[in-house]
Chain A
Amino acid sequence: MLDRALPVLDVQGLKTVFKTRGGEVHAVNNVSFDLKAGELLGVVGESGSGKSVTMMSLLGLLPMPPAEIRAGSVMFDGEDLLNVSQEKLRSVRGGKIGFVFQDPMTSLNPVFPVGYQIAEPLRKHMGMSKKDAAIRAKELLELVGIPDADQRLLDYPHQFSGGMRQRVMIAIALACDPQVLIADEPTTALDVTIQAQILELMKELRDKLGMAVIWITHDLGVIAGIADRVMVMYGGQVVEHAPVQELFTNPQHPYTSALLKTIPSISGERAARLTVIEGQPPLVVGPPTACPFRDRCAKAMPVCALKVPPRYEIGEGHDTACFLADPLEVANAG
């Protein structure tokens, strides 16, 4: 078995900004996390909370300019991905780290057959011949559950349904047996039945192939069913991070608690209304100077407007970026 204690990916203090006419947008602020082999890390947060930008920063997939990575390190395979040559970075992309994107309808190139698109990384990273790549591409399509793989290799993306296209995307991401798979809202654009199928498929593949997965979503229901650990992001920061069981039973950050209340339940008494979190998520222009959630937080204290809360360790693998976790700050406020 894989050594589960050893992190394959270690991100420290990542900062990404976008230069716009209205000023610098600090999309990712001091984000740190690690990922252990064979583990599934869920990343949740509203739209614009910096989930996708964080993951794209890791592999240099953001258009630069306007994006710029200010600080941080991304340790993978003994090297800092933010400081390696383009050549080296390309060999990691698609080779050792696979990426599945949100919208399967537009993520495949419409003018090339899917077989060609799956074979591309195989030929580049594994140095396979055309013939070997075609054989492997067929295996991959079968692996992700596409029937008639032989025939379908020659089909173009428009001949596949949305769910099937996402399977093709997953096949591309898995092509070179990656150590890490980053799935950026892979089921958001799909209907629930297909979503369930893709989730099942991912769980199965992770157990079979033993890779680590980062699963980005804004659907907590999905996270509950699939993740080992969860990282909650808000306003470009990690606000809470805990093992999945712990997060759902003992949320510490007011944002996490509020988020959990928004999940509609089909069991128990029918709620009169669905709970919503009042207000808008912030657009962080300029470096953050306070807690990003303070304006929408029911338990905000004066200190929340004065400085950025650090991440307080409050249990085994559980931390939260909230002053409520600091007895000293609570005493001051009280």
Chain B
Amino acid sequence: MLTFTIRRLLLSIPTLLFIAFVIFMLLELAPGDPMAQMPLTIPPEVKEKMRLALGLGEPWWVRFPLWLKQFFIVEPQYWIDGIFGTNFADGAQRIISFQSRSPVFETIAQRMPQTLWVVGMSYVVGVLIALPIGIISAYKQYSVFDQTGTFVSMIGFSVPPFFSGVLLIVIFSVQLKWLPSIYDTTHQVTSWDTFLFQLKQMIMPVMVLALQTTAQVSRYMRASMLDNLGQDYVRTARAKGMTESVVVMKHVLRNSMIPVVTVIALGIPAIFGGAIITEQIFKVNGLGQLLIIALQGNDIPMVMTITFLLAVLIVMMNLIADILYGILDPRIRYD
């Protein structure tokens, strides 16, 4: 398993370099000008100078390796310096946002917690709701519970978050006035009341994202449980005199989790993508919103860095899914 992990980690390096190159070239070839949003009163010669100052005068074969160097060498150095108070970076040039003129990673670090809270929480909530629904739905197939679960899943699958989000805002913020429609990022949790407020402002975005996760994961869980409930080893377990809870929650569940774990791991990058829209609706100033604004402003370093981080997440989650697969299923041996 260890050799497998190391081999896969090494293999992911060329993969990621290739992805970085593709993203860079896509942004390079795409039309758009970082100066487009500057006031029209600025003369063209000045704009040209500003472009040169941003480094846009250099050809791509200079800028791409430079970005790689900054991403993989300079930024980690700053990161280590920040933690241990060392001075590895020695004032080297960081990746700078065209829009804010501040280091890209500082902005990302500011925005990360909001996204992690909302997206992470919604995923955890979604999975925790989905697993029991899937298990019970399969065990009591075609019962009222199963039918209801199927119906709710269909809604979760078919209603996009930009609709369910707005619907929730209309009902709970506009009509009932129970929940705030705008996520207040500056809010600090210091007491019981502020904690309640934080909870209130998180409920809607978390629920919108969790609905999708629940719909998907519960369907996979149900299908996987149904597959396994009909297997011969289940009859063996019953013939051994095991109680139903041991039969279902141990023998069947352990087997059913194998494909579901993969789905859960691979769903994590997807939920970050889904969060881009949800963050817009609820005005959460997280990574998704940051990416949208950067795209609109042709902020190439910012777009490049966020997109690449998502790519890293996808590659890592694939690796984690494979490793978990090997741990859960003894028939799979990588070495």
Contact = CB atoms under 8 A, between A and B. Distances in A.
B233 A93 contact: no
Q: How would you classify the secondary structure of chain A's contact residues: helix, strand, loop or mixed?
A: loop
A59 B242 CA distance: 13
Contact of B255 (A95, A103, A111, A120): A111
B231 A106 contact: yes
B233 A109 contact: yes
Contacts of B239: 59, 61, 93-94, 99, 101
Nearest to B244: A86
B232 A156 contact: no
A156 B330 contact: yes
A175 B90 CA distance: 71
A108 interface: yes
Nearest to A89: B241
Given A92-B241, A109-B251, 8 more contacts: A94-B239, A94-B240, A107-B235, A108-B236, A110-B233, A110-B330, A124-B242, A169-B236
Interface string A251-281: 0000000000000000000000000000000
Contacts of A94: 239-242
Interface residues of B, number: 20
B254 interface: yes
Interface string B203-241: 000000000000000000000000000011101111111
A61 B239 CA distance: 7
Interface of A: 59, 61, 90-95, 99, 101, 103, 106-113, 120-121, 124-125, 156, 158, 169, 172
B309 interface: no
A56 to B, nearest CB: 8
B188 interface: no
Contacts of A92: 241
Contacts of A112: 251, 254
30 contacts: A59-B239, A61-B235, A61-B238, A90-B241, A90-B242, A90-B243, A93-B239, A93-B241, A94-B242, A95-B241, A101-B239, A106-B233, A107-B235, A108-B233, A109-B237, A109-B254, A109-B255, A110-B331, A111-B329, A111-B330, A112-B251, A113-B330, A120-B237, A120-B240, A120-B242, A121-B241, A156-B330, A158-B331, A172-B236, A172-B240
A109 B242 CA distance: 13
A120 B239 CA distance: 12
Nearest to B237: A109
A125 B241 contact: yes
Contacts of A172: 236, 240
B328 interface: yes
A92 B243 CA distance: 12
Nearest to B332: A158
Nearest to A106: B232
Nearest to A91: B241
Contact of B232 (A101, A121, A124, A158): A101
- List 8 tightest A-B contacts by C-beta distance, closest first: A94-B241, A94-B240, A99-B239, A93-B241, A106-B232, A156-B330, A109-B233, A90-B241
